[in-house]
Copies of this chain bind each other. A is one copy, B any other.
């Protein structure tokens, strides 16, 4: 496994692989790797000859009041995790490499980015689109892998790739959960033991929604109201949003026709957690 800190080194290695006819699989991350990331790397390993993982905590996607400074960083641990996962190349640039002085070009998706998390995090997805655009141009992957945990992010990246005609395929892989159901996230490290327990309320909300849909409920106001009641039963929980939307446009739905996207963002103490599921009114198998 090679660790490259410079763009030049990445390009050189990638070009060598491409000249040999190898396909490139890419998993962009912010480090603090967990099993969710490992599943993405495994999928990349299965589908591509050469697997690149980037680790970069992207300042552009954090607002000034957000958790950029305390976001967990542990490169040594991540490096050994990636080695075990048979990663071919780790791209681990510093801030100046990605955003040199006088940096002034941004990529912005303007439709999906305004909804859901975009409402409480207005600069977030512009930062995400810009960094992923840059990473795709550096790594030139055939396929890039994203987790459904960040469903809106993955959809925005898919839209960017589509709109800007980027020559990359996007794969979205299922949410990986702890045994008790909490969706894996680097931010789970922020939770104290009491909060860790209360955080289960997100997964319980999803189970409740699925149960309601299974029992024939299709009115989204009713489902959201039942979830609100459940979440508000926890003292540490504060709802950012509970939304049921079209799976592609992410626009609110009044009624679930066939399938719908359920997105939740809930503060547990000071930690903002998100979770989601696709609700299916006809076929209720996961």
Contact surface of A with B, Cβ cutoff 8 Å: 7, 11, 102-112, 129-130, 133-134, 137-138, 140, 159-160, 163-167, 249
Q: How far is the CB of A26 from chain B (nearest CB, A)?
A: 14
Q: Which of B109, B137, B138 contacts A104 (CB 8 A)?
A: B109
A105-B159, A159-B104 in contact; A167/B11 too (CB < 8 A)?
yes
Given pairs A105-B163, A134-B163, 16 additional interface contacts (CB within 8 A): A103-B163, A104-B110, A104-B112, A104-B163, A105-B107, A105-B108, A105-B129, A105-B160, A106-B110, A107-B107, A107-B164, A134-B164, A137-B164, A137-B165, A137-B166, A140-B167
Closest chain B residue, CB of each to CB of A109: B105
A103 to B164, CA, bound (A): 9
- Are A111 and B107 touching (Cβ within 8 A)? no
Please indicate which of the listed interface residues A104, A129, A167 has the most CB atoms of chain B within 10 Å of its own CB. A104
Residues in chain B near residue A108, CB distance under 8 A: 105-106, 108
Q: How far is the CB of A220 from chain B (nearest CB, A)?
A: 22
Q: How far is the CB of A159 from chain B (nearest CB, A)?
A: 6
Residues in chain B near residue A111, CB distance under 8 A: 102, 104
A11 to B164, CA, bound (A): 14
Q: Which 4 A-B pairs have the closest CB atoms?
A: A105-B163, A104-B111, A137-B165, A105-B109
* 19 A-B residue pairings within 8 Å (CB atoms): A11-B167, A102-B249, A104-B110, A104-B111, A104-B112, A105-B108, A105-B109, A105-B110, A105-B163, A106-B107, A106-B110, A107-B107, A107-B164, A108-B108, A133-B164, A134-B163, A134-B165, A137-B165, A137-B166
A138 to B102, CA, bound (A): 28
Residues in chain B near residue A164, CB distance under 8 A: 105, 107, 130, 133-134, 137
Q: How far is the CB of A204 from chain B (nearest CB, A)?
A: 34
Residues in chain B near residue A138, CB distance under 8 A: 165
Q: How far is the CB of A67 from chain B (nearest CB, A)?
A: 26
Residues in chain B near residue A105, CB distance under 8 A: 107-110, 129, 159-160, 163-164
Residues in chain B near residue A166, CB distance under 8 A: 137
Residues in chain B near residue A249, CB distance under 8 A: 102
Residues in chain B near residue A112, CB distance under 8 A: 104
- Are B104 and A7 touching (Cβ within 8 A)? no
A106 to B125, CA, bound (A): 13
Q: Which of B7, B102, B109 contacts A165 (CB 8 A)?
A: B7
Residues in chain B near residue A110, CB distance under 8 A: 104-106
A107-B107, A108-B108 in contact; A167/B137 too (CB < 8 A)?
yes
Residues in chain B near residue A160, CB distance under 8 A: 105
